[in-house]
Amino acid sequence: MNFSKKDEIIEQIKKVRLIRLIAFPCNEIKNYVQRVKFKKTDDYTYLKNLKNEFYGHRCFIIGNGPSLTIDDLEKLNDEYTFASNGIVRLFQCTKWRPTFYMCTDPDVYPFVKEEVEKSVEIPYRMLRKGFSENVDGVHHFYYSIHYNINLSNPKTRISEEAAKQINPGGTITFAAIQMAIYLGFKEIYLLGVDHFYSLQADKYRRVRENPLVQNHAKGIPDFGRPLQNVEVSTAAYECARQYCNSHDIKIYNATRGGKLEVFERVDFDNLIKKAR
């Protein structure tokens, strides 16, 4: 998978400070208008009624990284789980289904739309506003528009009211963390969040490619060009850690290996054994 010269030029344009200074107030105005409109929808009412519905429970937020296995998923049948994006491609291999499914990426959703819409056995299908509208059992959240001005210090924050909006952080995992917090979970474990990709952009939007790196678990294809800004997502994870530490929420990394060292690591197998 090659990242084209055109794509790299676009990434470089995005880092121009003047462009970002112009875009920031425009996006803030658009955000405000969209939030006001969203608060008048049935989806907003639905999410508002779910606040703290799972208070005090623990959950697993499952990434799609190469460390994830079908055997791991099978062990999670009795747990509350969040999953996202292309994990629906593994449903043919396992009886496990997530409690919550989320997707925010417009480049990914067209590839998984059919599977998501027919997966009626998932209790909570929560999608970015605009995805699969008017589908029974599918609900939506408002995903904020985000435009960092200072690229050397990516700014992000936890949205404490996911019914109103969810803030981006360079990864769907950050969106799932915000939803888990809103729903009242007090223990959050990350699994399969390897935090390392074949195509990465640094905080200055310089693109680096390593074709030897596997992006996803076996059975989950790469959709489009999975360019990841690891600096931004790391900043988001650090924000999540700080928020959880100050709000009596435990958040750990139960991933087997990987590059994410923001959270304290725990052994996944021991967690499952203790639960049984």
Q: What is the pLDDT of residue 117?
A: 98
The answer to whether 146 and 159 have CB atoms below 8 angstroms apart is no
Mean pLDDT throughout 106-111? 94
Sheet with strand 58-62: strands edge to edge: 138-141, 124-128, 100-103, 80-84, 58-62, 187-191, 250-253
Cα separation, 276 vs 272, in Å, equals 7
pTM of the model: 0.88
CA distance 189 to 41: 31
pLDDT of residue 1: 39
Number of structural domains (the chain) is: 1
Distance between CA atoms of 14 and 34, rounded to whole angstroms? 23
> Which tokens is 174 given?
């950050």
Domain extent at residue 178: 5-275
Give tens-digit pLDDT for 200-236. 776 666 677 777 788 899 999 988 656 778 888 999 9
Whether residue 181 is predicted with pLDDT greater than 70 in this model: the reply is yes
The whole-number pLDDT of residue 2 equals 44
Please state, rounded to an integer, the average pLDDT across all residues of the chain.
Answer: 88
What lies within 8 Å, CB to CB, of 186 at 6+ separation is 55, 56, 57, 58, 248, 249, 250
For the chain, percent of residues with pLDDT exceeding 90: 68
CB 251 within 8 A of CB 177: yes
User: What CATH number does the domain containing 113 carry?
Assistant: 3.90.1480
pLDDT tens, position by position, 57-101: 999 999 999 999 999 999 999 999 999 999 999 999 999 999 999
pLDDT tens digit string along 28-67? 788 888 899 999 999 999 999 999 999 999 999 999 999 9
Residues 6+ apart with CB under 8 A from 134: none
User: Which pairing describes strands 80-84 and 58-62: parallel, antiparallel, or unpaired?
Assistant: parallel
Predicted pLDDT at 90: 97
